[in-house]
Amino acid sequence: MEKAYVLGVDIGGQTAKCGIVNARGEVLAQSILVSNTHTEAASFVNALASTLKKLMSDAGLEGQVGGIGVGAPNGNYYTGEIKDAPNVTWARSKDVPFAKMLSEAMDGMPVALTNDANAAAVGEMTYGAAKGIKDFIMITLGTGVGSGIVIGGNVLYGHDGFAGELGHTCAVRGGRTCGCGKQGCLEAYCSAIGVARTAVEWLEQHPEESSLLRLRENITSKDVFEAAKAGDKAAKEIFDFTGNLLGRSFADFIAFSAPEAIVLFGGLARAKEFLYEPIVKSMNENVLAIWKDKVKVLFSSLSESDAAILGASALAWNL
């Protein structure tokens, strides 16, 4: 029987977003599973399988779903493994045969896996801001910094399935220690966690400056965003710093694949009103003259959950 529906799963450092998708690319039903409370892969996989089965049952679609597509940090499209994902509690310093485990927990339903940012890129290319664009780079700004590189309409996987870890290129020589163990990674500065770390450092370095952020005990990137919206000078400077680093790194990325656009997606991308100008300014100041003012910086036009769910689900149609 031809598949009428597939499942898409987007696994992040904090949550896993799940959805049932039809052949027209419509997300018919969604559910969210908290993922960072699990320390073992088996525990998470069992909880995810229960969530997916309930999602299908509640939608009245049991027996009509043909496969599952999953986007996850350090997900390998070739092997179906999640390999040493530093921001995922149950996959940190481990190689998890995730596709195999989930298929078994789902009674043999076929499962395809890819990197979460690659999944978001496919979703954006098919349904969102990158529709009609064949050469672009997707940057996901969440718990970490992910990237999906699309060249000629195809996702770049490389010979081993791990191509496109741009969040772990060096943005600051000898800088902060990243969750991956390296120093100065873009992720250590421009992820949601990185922005919070910048805020703490800024407050320590400017004790004489007043800021709404001093009212927060455990600062988050959301706190910085809300303070910036309220006109807080410190919060705006933090986003200027973040945008400047992103722009400098984007200039390097452009030299690699000459994209038509760089598309930003994820929770931190909601701060586009404070990030866009410093990103574009810094990018064009640091890029080779042949690309100056040629590469567009776009923000995802899909809801935060839909892009990754749709992109992941696209893998399942070919199972």
**216 and 293 inside one domain:** yes
What is the predicted pLDDT for the residue at 3? 73
- Alpha-helical segments (H) within the chain: 41-58, 98-105, 116-127, 187-190, 192-205, 221-229, 233-257, 272-286, 304-316
* Structural domain contains residue 15: yes
**215 and 296 inside one domain:** yes
* Structural domain contains residue 196: yes
Q: What is the mean pLDDT of residues 143-148?
A: 92
Question: pLDDT grade, residue 123 (50/70/90)?
Answer: confident
Given a cut of 70, whether residue 172 has pLDDT beyond it is yes
Given a cut of 80, whether residue 2 has pLDDT beyond it is no
What is the predicted pLDDT for the residue at 116? 87
Burial annotation 4-26 (CB, 10 A radius, 16+ → b, else e): ebbbbbbbbbbebbbbbbeeeee
Number of domains in the chain: 2
* Structural domain contains residue 265: yes
**310 and 295 inside one domain:** no
* Structural domain contains residue 36: yes
- CA distances from residue 149 to 83, 217, 239, 253 in whole angstroms, order as listed: 19, 38, 25, 10
Question: pLDDT grade, residue 177 (50/70/90)?
Answer: very high
**239 and 164 inside one domain:** yes
DSSP class of residue 78 equals: T
What is the predicted pLDDT for the residue at 100? 98
What is the predicted pLDDT for the residue at 42? 97
Domain residue limits at 78? 5-122+305-316
What is the predicted pLDDT for the residue at 1? 42
Question: pLDDT grade, residue 127 (50/70/90)?
Answer: confident
* Structural domain contains residue 127: no
**104 and 142 inside one domain:** no
Closest CA to 313 of 66, 81, 73, 31: 66
Consecutive H or E run containing 60: none
**93 and 164 inside one domain:** no
* Structural domain contains residue 283: yes
**108 and 177 inside one domain:** no
CATH number at residue 58: 3.30.420.40
Both tokens of 204, joined, read 């320590």
Question: pLDDT grade, residue 305 (50/70/90)?
Answer: low
Given a cut of 90, whether residue 154 has pLDDT beyond it is yes
Q: Report the C-alpha gap between 215 and 217 in whole angstroms.
A: 7
Q: Is 75 exposed, middle or buried (0-12, 13-18, 19+ CB in 10 A)?
A: buried
* Structural domain contains residue 39: yes
**64 and 151 inside one domain:** no
Report the percentage of the chain scoring pLDDT > 70.
Answer: 99
Handedness of CA 281, 286, 290, 291 (dihedral sign): negative
Per-residue pLDDT tens digits for 256-278: 999 999 999 988 999 999 999 99
318 or 47, which is more confident?
47
Q: What is the mean pLDDT of residues 14-31?
A: 93
* Structural domain contains residue 35: yes
**141 and 9 inside one domain:** no
Show Cβ contacts of residue 194 under 8 Å, excluding neighbours closer than 6 positions: 145, 176, 187, 188, 242
**55 and 151 inside one domain:** no
195 or 93, which is more confident?
195
**216 and 80 inside one domain:** no
Nearest 5°: CA angle at 297, between 294 and 298?
130
**114 and 148 inside one domain:** no
Per-residue pLDDT tens digits for 178-235: 999 999 999 999 999 999 999 999 999 999 999 999 999 899 999 999 999 999 999 9
